[in-house]
Chain A
Amino acid sequence: MADNANPTILNAADLPTRRRLSSHSATGKPRSFLFDDIVPADYNDPFATAATDSGLSRSFSSSSSDLNSDSDELAEPIDEQEVYDLISTISDPEHPLSLGSLAVVNLPDIHIVPAAGSSASSRMRTVLVEITPTITHCSLATVIGLGVRVRLEQALPPRFRVDVRIKEGTHSTGDQVNKQLGDKERVAAALENGTLLGVLRKMLETCQ
């Protein structure tokens, strides 16, 4: 019988995410559909650039064409919200619902810290994700934890060390689960085990 047939469901629209662009763009100017087709005159004048800087490789005039706007290389560091967006749409193995809407993963339970002992300039990071099973004796906690760890190991750059733990006091056998989730070799082996891989793939299918 399903472990928890009647979990509490959060309203997807309330979950914190960047996927929905808010209407006010960073530059304060209201990003309104009214100005969608207001384009500077020489926008699609391909000659404009060839003439002015024929020497350089073709770069569009300073017009706001997004191909080469100066804000292009503005680095956006990987933060907790991005990690949350990567894992909140993983589906629960038991329900057609996401870990986000079941509050199994929550933004405040994700912590990114510089790797312990590494020098300040080092780009090494450790990301700790604490997951909250829907009920304390949930037998699927390990699979859910594994799903989160595999998703992050496949989606985050290698300089991130991924630690997935059951949140303190939310699961009867939390320590054992944490030890399994921390064992890199068992996680690697699990990824080569056909049946478990099938379950994981189904969970990760819903990731947008």
Chain B
Amino acid sequence: MAASPTAPPTSAGTLKLIAPLTPPSSTRTWLTVPHHSLPLVATATSDKTVRVYSLRSFTLHSTVSGGHKRSVRSCAWKPGTKGESVLATGSFDASAGIWRRWDMDMGMARERDLTGGVDEGDEEEDEGWRFSVILDGHESEIKSVAWSASGQFLATCSRDKSVWIWEEMEDDNFETIAVLQEHEADVKCVAWHPEEELLASSSYDDTIRLYREDIDDWTGIAVLSGHDSTVWSIDFEPAKPALSGDSQADASDRARWIEAREASGPRLVSGSDDRTLRIWRRRPKQKQPAPPTGQGRIPSIIRTHSIEEDWYEEARLPVAHERAIYSVAWSKRTGRIVSTGGDGRIVVYEERWSEPKGNEEKTDGLNPEGTEASDLPVARTTWSVVASIEMAHDVFEVNHVTFARRFDSGRTSDDEEIIISTGDDGQVKVWTVEI
């Protein structure tokens, strides 16, 4: 059922704008992804380019252009690269591009004050981006691209209802190792498990699907339905739970909850056109220990059990949006979740231990059918809105939000976290959360 339109729940905190990244694009910007190590972000823009800004100086570092004939809808940094940054781009022209650039000026090794060193205006910098290979195959607009945690695989999805998985052999030679046609309509988003070779995709057909490699052949292992409309965005929970355990409730309950959480593995959050955000959780298999984390493969001849997995909707976040939710992100550092959408609002949620069991009836989690009572961890958690802001991009819709490490001179601690929002006004803005 669609959430009833209400004003955002009163939250103590708010988001404070640190700075907009300048100069803004004069056309709609779709999404911004932070580099895994360097103080850079890449913004996919509808003027067929990607704008790379520096998180130190909040100014344009370089522009990736000339590769696409239509809007660039999505991009992703290849994780774990050293000395050379690799950016994948997905465009409405139905092609994905791989771009490379030497990190000569931004090398992590030389930890010097980079603001001086980074010379945005330096023309020669801009040609840094080399268009190394184009990945053709999709029949219509590409909507999202994502690298697997190891960087071995690149997933792309498109309106042609298919999800493609590419594997980079030696340099610049990509091979299509899977074409997944599970969805019944336009696939909107792909996201990889933070550690395992597990891929998730969400679609216009209101469902989320998960895929794994089963004896060198990728196949769908789960269908998560429940949303009433297009599922625009999904993101996995960070590998290790970051729950703070400061309340006085009995420690052992929490330990058992954390242990159950580790058994079922990182959860998944999804944001949809039906204005709801839902947390999905894997129900661990009874007899079979959780499959090893991805390294070894089960020899096919003796494998007896099927690869299917069973995921259920564990909880729903408080309703805080009036229109479609276009983007949701789960912070790798604080475990918080941030969402945004057509109503121009950015909302941050946090998971907290709820009061001891008994007097606390389930506030928002559904009692997933088919789970025995004993199965449920005794301790309970609840999600609540900790901060939100209206008209984050003036009157324009906000297309994307994500978390990132703070690099600029104002940061207070080494791993301080910021939120980056991308809007229809062509602006990319950097926020901090103030509770």
Instruction: Determine whether A and B are in direct contact in the complex, meaning some CB atoms lie less than 8 angstroms apart.
Output: yes
- Docked-complex contact B28 and A182, CB < 8 angstroms: no
- Report which of B28, B322, B396, B424 forms a contact with A116, defined as CB distance below 8 A: B322
Chain B residues with CB under 8 A of A189: 70-71, 92, 140-141, 159
Q: A158-B396, A158-B424 are in contact. Are A117 and B141 (CB under 8 A)?
A: no
B63 to chain A, nearest CB (A): 20
Closest to A123 in B: B395
Chain A residues with CB under 8 A of B159: 186, 189
- Docked-complex contact B322 and A117, CB < 8 angstroms: yes
- Docked-complex contact A184 and B397, CB < 8 angstroms: yes
Q: Determine chain A's interface SS by DSSP, over half rule.
A: loop
- Docked-complex contact A186 and B396, CB < 8 angstroms: no
- Docked-complex contact A183 and B395, CB < 8 angstroms: no
Q: A124-B395, A159-B395 are in contact. Are A186 and B323 (CB under 8 A)?
A: no
- Report which of A116, A158, A186, A188 forms a contact with B395, defined as CB distance below 8 A: A158
- Docked-complex contact B70 and A117, CB < 8 angstroms: no
- Docked-complex contact B343 and A117, CB < 8 angstroms: yes
- Report which of B7, B92, B143, B425 forms a contact with A117, defined as CB distance below 8 A: B7
B142 to chain A, nearest CB (A): 10
Q: A115-B343, A117-B5, A123-B395 are in contact. Are A192 and B273 (CB under 8 A)?
A: no
Asked if B201 is at the interface (CB within 8 A of a chain A CB), the reply is no
Bound complex: CA A158 to CA B73 (Å): 21
Chain A residues with CB under 8 A of B77: none
Bound complex: CA A94 to CA B73 (Å): 33
Asked if A122 is at the interface (CB within 8 A of a chain B CB), the reply is yes
Bound complex: CA A184 to CA B397 (Å): 10
Chain B residues with CB under 8 A of A124: 344, 391, 395
Of B143, B204, B395, the most chain A CB neighbours within 10 A belong to B395
- Docked-complex contact A115 and B322, CB < 8 angstroms: yes
Asked if A161 is at the interface (CB within 8 A of a chain B CB), the reply is yes
Bound complex: CA A157 to CA B395 (Å): 9
Chain A residues with CB under 8 A of B186: 183, 186
Bound complex: CA A188 to CA B44 (Å): 14
Asked if A179 is at the interface (CB within 8 A of a chain B CB), the reply is yes
Of A159, A182, A189, the most chain B CB neighbours within 10 A belong to A189
A22 to chain B, nearest CB (A): 34
B82 to chain A, nearest CB (A): 35
Bound complex: CA A115 to CA B7 (Å): 12
- Docked-complex contact A192 and B71, CB < 8 angstroms: yes
CB proximity to A under 8 Å, residues B396-435: 396-397, 424-425
Asked if A45 is at the interface (CB within 8 A of a chain B CB), the reply is no
A19 to chain B, nearest CB (A): 28
- Docked-complex contact A192 and B230, CB < 8 angstroms: no
Closest to B229 in A: A179
Asked if A185 is at the interface (CB within 8 A of a chain B CB), the reply is yes
A120 to chain B, nearest CB (A): 12
- Docked-complex contact A183 and B6, CB < 8 angstroms: no
Chain A residues with CB under 8 A of B273: 182-183
- Docked-complex contact B424 and A122, CB < 8 angstroms: no
Chain B residues with CB under 8 A of A123: 395
Closest to B141 in A: A189
- Docked-complex contact A183 and B322, CB < 8 angstroms: no
A115 to chain B, nearest CB (A): 7
B217 to chain A, nearest CB (A): 31
Asked if B207 is at the interface (CB within 8 A of a chain A CB), the reply is no
A165 to chain B, nearest CB (A): 14
Asked if B148 is at the interface (CB within 8 A of a chain A CB), the reply is no
Bound complex: CA A111 to CA B157 (Å): 36
Q: Enumerate the 3 nearest inter-chain pairs by beta-carbon distance, A residue then B residue, closest first.
A: A159-B395, A117-B322, A116-B322
Please name 15 further chain A to chain B contacts, defined as beta carbons within 8 Å, in addition to the given A115-B343, A124-B395, A192-B71, sorted by A numbering: A116-B5, A116-B343, A117-B6, A117-B322, A122-B390, A124-B344, A179-B204, A179-B230, A183-B273, A184-B324, A184-B342, A184-B397, A185-B143, A189-B92, A189-B159
Q: Which residues of B contact A (CB under 8 A)?
A: 5-8, 28, 46, 70-71, 73, 92, 140-141, 143, 159, 186, 188, 204, 229-230, 273, 322-324, 342-344, 390-391, 395-397, 424-425
